[in-house]
Amino acid sequence: MSLKDKEKTKNGKTLFPLEKILGTSAKDYVSSVGKNLTDYEFVGVHLCETVYRPKTYLKEFQKAVPENAEIVVDYRFFCASGPRSIFSGTALVPK
Protein backbone atom coordinates (compact mmCIF):
# COMPACT_ATOMS: atom_id res chain seq x y z
CA MET A 1 0.00 0.00 0.00
CA SER A 2 1.36 3.41 -0.87
CA LEU A 3 0.97 6.56 1.21
CA LYS A 4 -1.72 7.65 -1.26
CA ASP A 5 -3.85 4.62 -0.40
CA LYS A 6 -5.39 5.12 3.03
CA GLU A 7 -6.43 1.89 4.71
CA LYS A 8 -9.57 2.28 6.81
CA THR A 9 -11.19 0.44 9.69
CA LYS A 10 -14.73 -0.92 9.50
CA ASN A 11 -16.10 2.30 11.02
CA GLY A 12 -14.27 4.41 8.42
CA LYS A 13 -11.38 5.69 10.55
CA THR A 14 -8.20 6.02 8.50
CA LEU A 15 -5.37 3.87 9.82
CA PHE A 16 -1.96 5.45 10.29
CA PRO A 17 0.18 4.36 7.28
CA LEU A 18 2.67 1.57 7.95
CA GLU A 19 5.28 3.42 5.88
CA LYS A 20 5.26 6.17 8.52
CA ILE A 21 6.06 3.86 11.46
CA LEU A 22 9.85 3.89 11.70
CA GLY A 23 12.51 2.34 13.89
CA THR A 24 14.75 5.39 13.52
CA SER A 25 15.23 7.97 16.28
CA ALA A 26 13.33 11.25 16.47
CA LYS A 27 16.60 13.16 16.13
CA ASP A 28 17.55 11.33 12.93
CA TYR A 29 14.07 11.79 11.46
CA VAL A 30 13.79 15.53 12.11
CA SER A 31 17.29 16.20 10.77
CA SER A 32 16.40 14.26 7.60
CA VAL A 33 13.40 16.50 6.95
CA GLY A 34 15.15 19.75 7.88
CA LYS A 35 13.22 20.43 11.08
CA ASN A 36 14.03 20.63 14.79
CA LEU A 37 12.88 18.52 17.73
CA THR A 38 11.28 21.66 19.17
CA ASP A 39 8.87 21.72 16.20
CA TYR A 40 7.06 18.69 17.62
CA GLU A 41 5.16 17.41 20.61
CA PHE A 42 6.07 13.84 21.55
CA VAL A 43 3.25 11.39 22.25
CA GLY A 44 3.94 7.86 23.42
CA VAL A 45 2.02 5.13 21.59
CA HIS A 46 1.87 1.79 23.37
CA LEU A 47 -0.12 -1.37 22.91
CA CYS A 48 -0.09 -4.63 24.82
CA GLU A 49 -1.53 -7.46 22.73
CA THR A 50 -1.55 -11.17 22.44
CA VAL A 51 0.50 -12.28 19.45
CA TYR A 52 -1.73 -15.30 19.03
CA ARG A 53 -4.61 -13.20 17.74
CA PRO A 54 -4.87 -13.32 13.97
CA LYS A 55 -2.44 -10.53 13.06
CA THR A 56 -4.68 -7.69 14.14
CA TYR A 57 -2.12 -6.29 16.55
CA LEU A 58 -0.46 -4.05 13.97
CA LYS A 59 -3.81 -2.55 12.97
CA GLU A 60 -4.54 -1.91 16.64
CA PHE A 61 -1.24 -0.05 16.93
CA GLN A 62 -2.07 1.98 13.81
CA LYS A 63 -5.42 2.94 15.39
CA ALA A 64 -3.66 4.10 18.58
CA VAL A 65 -1.53 6.69 16.75
CA PRO A 66 -2.91 10.25 17.16
CA GLU A 67 -4.67 11.46 14.01
CA ASN A 68 -2.52 14.59 13.71
CA ALA A 69 0.80 12.71 13.97
CA GLU A 70 3.29 13.25 11.19
CA ILE A 71 5.35 10.13 11.89
CA VAL A 72 5.99 7.44 14.52
CA VAL A 73 9.65 6.96 15.46
CA ASP A 74 11.52 4.60 17.78
CA TYR A 75 9.06 1.81 17.00
CA ARG A 76 9.80 -1.32 19.00
CA PHE A 77 8.20 -4.71 19.46
CA PHE A 78 8.86 -6.54 22.71
CA CYS A 79 7.92 -10.20 22.88
CA ALA A 80 7.06 -11.01 26.48
CA SER A 81 7.53 -14.41 28.09
CA GLY A 82 4.01 -15.57 27.51
CA PRO A 83 1.24 -14.77 25.08
CA ARG A 84 1.51 -10.98 25.49
CA SER A 85 3.74 -8.60 23.57
CA ILE A 86 4.26 -4.87 23.74
CA PHE A 87 4.35 -2.53 20.76
CA SER A 88 5.77 0.92 21.43
CA GLY A 89 6.76 4.07 19.57
CA THR A 90 6.74 7.85 19.75
CA ALA A 91 4.37 9.87 17.60
CA LEU A 92 5.71 13.24 16.47
CA VAL A 93 2.89 15.76 16.36
CA PRO A 94 3.66 19.11 14.73
CA LYS A 95 3.13 22.06 17.10
The pLDDT tens digits of the residues spanning 13-25 come to 789 999 999 999 9
User: What are the C-alpha distances in Å from 31 to residues 41, 45, 72, 80?
Assistant: 16, 22, 15, 33
Straight-line distance from the first to the last Cα atom of the chain, in angstroms, rounded to the nearest whole number: 28
The pLDDT tens digits of the residues spanning 61-77 come to 899 999 999 999 999 98
Domain boundaries, the chain: 18-94
DSSP 28-82: HHHHHTT--GGGEEEEEEEEEEETTSSS-HHHHHHHHS-TT-SEEEEEEEEE-SS
Distance CA 91, CA 21 (A): 9
Taking the whole predicted model, whether its pTM rises above 0.95 is answered as no
